[in-house]
């Protein structure tokens, strides 16, 4: 069985770069697997978030966002990481066989050290917990960008080492690299990123989004001068939100000459056309935390059936009696 797993860390405002570059492709991939799991990595967030009210809000913001964008909890397993205690038991067992050198080589840990950031044990052992997230559900593939490939390789290394010690108990996962990951341009032309402060929030109201769109950096070409749509960040964004017919018509307007202000207005309008119904659904979902918690709890219940079966194998392999 081909099983995929995706973890989503609750870490601030979701922007259109997240939506186009990660959420939409991830939801589309649910059609390719016999089983897919999506979890909110709330325990992972504890390495950096120390405000409980902020974390609580971000968890439910994220749940409502993915559901509003089309994730179907009936076709997938959608749950909170913290609802699966077996994850943390498996993380301890994997930690007992994880070589220190393996964790020393983790890219995220090395980057934090190089940047002089304070290092806590959670940051250092982050790859082990991530490995448990993956291995617990007999995951065969983890869709990741190339920069996240190492996390899956560590999970595979730990699963294979466990199997060498105790027999074939765990399924070693493989990374599935998407070589066509889109880079969504931000307000300043660089990749849209919160760290660059150049984002457009996904759930911004129309007036706020239009104001941000009008800040997109452009050159000094006069309105009547023909423009190359392929060299315009405005057109790149427009094409991602528009229908093929709308994009073709806008390309003609660029070739004939269009003012940057008019191009930005058209972009804001096509964004609103696409996002307005999603925003309405998001706001309705977000207003009912009880229903969101119920959806996540139902997913966790189904996920734990798989998790308990895996842990029964693991416990028997290492010689720990299963609890009554």
Q: Is 40 helix (H, G, I), strand (E, B) or coil?
A: strand
| Pick from 120, 112, 141, 79: nearest CA to 305 | 79
Helices (H) and strands (E) in the chain, counts: 13, 5
Q: How far apart are CA 84 and CA 38, in angstroms?
A: 13
CATH of the domain at 274: 1.10.240.10
The boundaries of the domain holding residue 217 are 203-283
CATH of the domain at 21: 3.40.50.620
Q: Express each pLDDT in 133-163 by its tens digit.
A: 999 999 999 988 777 899 999 999 999 999 9
Q: Tokens 């259109």 sit at which residue? A: 16
Q: Which two tokens stand for residue 202?
A: 């996904």
318, containing H or E segment: helix 289-318
Percent of the chain with pLDDT over 90: 83
Confidence of residue 323 (pLDDT cuts 50, 70, 90): low
108 and 13 inside one domain: yes
Lowest mean pLDDT among 102-116, 181-195, 263-277: 181-195
Q: How far apart are CA 219 and CA 230, in angstroms?
A: 14
238 and 312 inside one domain: no
147 and 106 inside one domain: yes
36 and 158 inside one domain: yes
Domains of the chain: total: 2
Q: How far apart are CA 227 and CA 260, in angstroms?
A: 10
Q: Which two tokens stand for residue 258?
A: 């269009």
| Pick from 134, 110, 137: nearest CA to 124 | 110
Single pTM value for the model = 0.92
292 and 265 inside one domain: no
Q: Express each pLDDT in 20-66 by its tens digit.
A: 988 998 888 888 888 999 999 999 999 988 999 999 999 999 999 99
168 and 239 inside one domain: no
11 and 122 inside one domain: yes
Q: Is 145 in contact with 177 (CB distance < 8 Å)?
A: yes
40 and 79 inside one domain: yes
65 and 150 inside one domain: yes
Mean pLDDT across the chain: 93
Report if residue 324 sits inside a domain.
Answer: no
| Pick from 69, 70, 60, 17: nearest CA to 40 | 60
Q: How far is CA 6 from CA 38, 144, 236, in A?
A: 5, 8, 27
N-to-C CA span, the chain: 30
Rg (CA), the chain: 22
151 and 294 inside one domain: yes
Q: Express each pLDDT in 62-106 by its tens digit.
A: 999 999 999 999 999 999 999 999 999 999 999 999 999 999 999
Report if residue 47 sits inside a domain.
Answer: yes
């Amino acid at each position: 069985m081909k099983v995929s797993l995706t973890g989503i860390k609750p870490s601030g405002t979701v922007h259109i770069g997240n939506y186009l570059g990660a959420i939409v492709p991830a939801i589309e991939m649910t059609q390719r697997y016999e089983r897919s799991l999506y979890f909110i990595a709330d325990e992972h967030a504890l390495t950096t978030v120390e405000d409980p009210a902020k974390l609580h809000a971000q968890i439910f913001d994220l749940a409502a966002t993915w559901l509003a964008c089309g994730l179907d909890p009936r076709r997938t397993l959608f749950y909170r990481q913290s609802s699966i205690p077996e994850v943390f038991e498996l993380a301890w067992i994997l930690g007992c066989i994880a070589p220190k050198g393996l964790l020393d080589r983790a890219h995220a840990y090395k980057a934090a050290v190089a940047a002089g950031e304070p290092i806590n044990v959670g940051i250092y052992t982050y790859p082990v917990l991530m490995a448990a997230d993956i291995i617990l559900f007999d995951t065969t593939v983890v869709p990741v960008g190339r920069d996240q490939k190492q996390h899956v390789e560590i999970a595979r290394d730990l699963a294979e080492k466990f199997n060498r010690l105790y027999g074939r108990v765990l399924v070693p996962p493989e990374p599935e690299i998407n070589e066509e990951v889109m880079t969504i341009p931000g307000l300043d032309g660089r990749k849209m990123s919160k760290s660059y402060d150049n984002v457009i929030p996904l759930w911004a109201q129309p007036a706020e989004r239009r104001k941000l769109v009008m800040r997109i950096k452009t050159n000094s070409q006069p309105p009547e001068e023909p423009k190359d749509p392929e060299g315009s960040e405005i057109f790149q964004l427009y094409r991602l939100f528009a229908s093929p017919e709308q994009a073709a018509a806008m390309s003609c307007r660029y070739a004939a000459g269009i003012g940057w202000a008019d191009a930005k207005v058209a972009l804001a309008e096509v964004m609103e056309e696409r996002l307005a119904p999603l925003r309405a659904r998001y706001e309705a979902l977000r207003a009912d935390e009880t229903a969101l918690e119920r959806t996540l709890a139902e997913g966790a219940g189904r996920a734990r059936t798989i998790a308990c079966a895996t842990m029964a194998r693991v416990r028997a392999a290492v010689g720990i009696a299963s609890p009554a």
